């Protein structure tokens, strides 16, 4: 999983079309550009989701705009060509979608949201706080609507003792959506990984600890999680390095958490903040 993440980053952050010409649809290629930052822009935290019909959606943190937003790109040909289809903007806080997006597709209906609904989240922050909000698109990521506030923390600050939240990631399992994130609000842990669960996308249950080390200063990083079905004979098809509890309905999760403290550019002055 870790390698996969790094390779994906390398591909996403690459520039210019692969040597030897345009990538062919549904073929192998390297270094195919999805988006080339212009002017003062820069991109971090690339995220993608492959939809049931094979469409790939990708997004990224984008600095250089106030308020910030997540540009959303679509590929219908296996990543060979990309189209900028929408911007996921903050509709409620006035803070922008500052950084750390995540995308997911509903595989089964939840509340009024049908299978095929695209979910988007991320960190909306200002000098007044950090908020992880949920948005939904019912038109294949062309337009987005605010659904719910998942969690809220103090202003961005990566020092232990400060109380922000960071880096959400979404996983639907059966009738439950889990929103994983990195959490500095617990006075017992400089930072921990936690999640909250919803069954209707509107209301969210309590904070459930996933990785919370005994040592206060340990910062377990961020959660990236995938569902890997169990093999037919019942043995698990993966190992779970840090044993992150799955959503209540049991799954076999596989996680990647970085060994060193992440520093999501936690300095509000370096980011859109008003
Ligand atoms: C990707 O393309 C850029 C620009 O041409 C080049 O600098 C970089 O070395 C390439 N990276 C890989 C991994 O091929
Ligand atoms: C996204 O926002 C940028 C900046 O406002 C704008 O130039 C661009 O046209 C928007 N793109 C889409 C697909 O909405
Ligand atoms: C960041 O948090 C630490 C710990 O609470 C605090 O001492 C420091 O003043 C904070 N920095 C900013 C810029 O708020
Ligand atoms: C069943 O489990 C064994 C032992 O873990 C494994 O070697 C084998 O490949 C599994 N078979 C299937 C069909 O998944
Ligand atoms: C931060 O909070 C203060 C006090 O409530 C308010 O005046 C200010 O507009 C807020 N700023 C932002 C960016 O939300």
pLDDT band at 229 (very low <50, low <70, confident <90, very high): confident
Q: 57 exposed, middle or buried (CB, 10 Å; 0-12, 13-18, 19+)?
A: buried
Contact in structure between 247 and 191 (CB atoms under 8 Å): no
Instruction: Give residues with Cβ within 8 angstroms of 213, minimum separation 6.
Output: 189, 192, 220
* Ligand 3 touching residue 241 (CB < 6 A): no
More confident residue, 182 or 6: 182
Rounded to the nearest angstrom, the distance between the alpha carbon of 263 and the centre of ligand 3 is 14
CA nearest ligand 5 atom 6, residue: 128
Q: Which of 18-27, 172-181, 210-219 is predicted least confidently?
A: 18-27
CA nearest ligand 3 atom 2, residue: 162
pLDDT band at 3 (very low <50, low <70, confident <90, very high): very low
Confidence check: pLDDT of 53 > 60: yes
pLDDT band at 78 (very low <50, low <70, confident <90, very high): very high
Instruction: Give residues with Cβ within 8 angstroms of 137, minimum separation 6.
Output: 86, 117, 118, 119, 120, 143, 144, 145
Rounded to the nearest angstrom, the distance between the alpha carbon of 245 and the centre of ligand 2 is 38
* Ligand 3 touching residue 157 (CB < 6 A): yes
CA nearest ligand 2 atom 1, residue: 87
- Per-residue model confidence as pLDDT tens digits over 91-125: 999 999 999 999 999 999 999 999 999 999 999 99
Contact in structure between 121 and 101 (CB atoms under 8 Å): yes
CA nearest ligand 3 atom 12, residue: 157
* Ligand 1 touching residue 15 (CB < 6 A): yes
Instruction: Give residues with Cβ within 8 angstroms of 3, minimum separation 6.
Output: none
Confidence check: pLDDT of 17 > 80: no
- Phi then psi for residue 129, to 5 deg, are 160, 180
Rounded to the nearest angstrom, the distance between the alpha carbon of 9 and the centre of ligand 1 is 13
Residue 235: predicted pLDDT:
54
- Per-chain mean pLDDT for the chain: 84
- Per-residue model confidence as pLDDT tens digits over 136-165: 999 999 999 999 999 999 999 999 999 999
Buried b (16+ CB within 10 A) or exposed e, 249-269: eebbbbbbbeeeebebbbebe
Among 228, 230, 231, 232, which residue has the most ligand 4 atoms within 8 Å of its CB, making it the best to mutate? 231
Residue 91: predicted pLDDT:
98
Residue 244: predicted pLDDT:
55
pLDDT, mean of residues 166-180: 96
pLDDT, mean of residues 172-196: 97
Confidence check: pLDDT of 231 > 90: no
Residue 274: predicted pLDDT:
26
* Ligand 2 touching residue 86 (CB < 6 A): yes
Q: 192 exposed, middle or buried (CB, 10 Å; 0-12, 13-18, 19+)?
A: buried
Confidence check: pLDDT of 259 > 80: no
């Amino acid at each position: 999983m870790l390698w996969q993440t790094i390779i994906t980053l390398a591909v996403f952050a690459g520039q210019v079309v692969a040597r030897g010409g345009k990538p062919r649809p549904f073929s192998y290629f390297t270094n195919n550009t999805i988006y080339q930052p212009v002017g003062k822009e820069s991109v971090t935290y690339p995220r993608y989701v492959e939809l049931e019909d094979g469409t790939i959606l990708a997004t990224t943190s984008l600095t250089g705009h106030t308020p910030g937003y997540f540009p959303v790109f679509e590929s219908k040909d296996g990543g060979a060509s990309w189209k900028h289809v929408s911007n996921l903007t903050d509709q409620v806080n006035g803070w922008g979608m500052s950084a750390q997006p995540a995308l997911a597709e509903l595989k089964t209906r939840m509340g009024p949201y049908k299978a095929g609904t695209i979910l988007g989240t991320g960190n909306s922050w200002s000098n007044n706080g950090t908020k992880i909000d949920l948005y939904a698109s019912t038109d294949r990521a062309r337009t987005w609507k605010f659904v719910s506030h998942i969690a809220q923390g103090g202003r961005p600050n990566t020092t232990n003792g400060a109380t922000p939240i960071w880096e959400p990631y979404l996983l639907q399992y059966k009738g439950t959506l889990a929103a994983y994130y990195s959490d500095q609000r617990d006075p017992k842990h400089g930072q921990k990984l936690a999640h909250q669960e919803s069954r209707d996308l509107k209301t969210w249950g309590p904070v459930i600890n996933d990785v919370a080390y005994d040592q206060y200063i340990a910062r377990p990083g961020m959660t990236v999680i995938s569902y890997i079905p169990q093999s037919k004979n019942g043995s698990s098809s993966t190992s779970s390095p840090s044993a992150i509890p799955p959503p209540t309905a049991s799954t076999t999760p596989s996680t990647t958490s970085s060994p060193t403290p992440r520093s999501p550019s936690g300095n509000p002055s370096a980011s859109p903040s008003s």
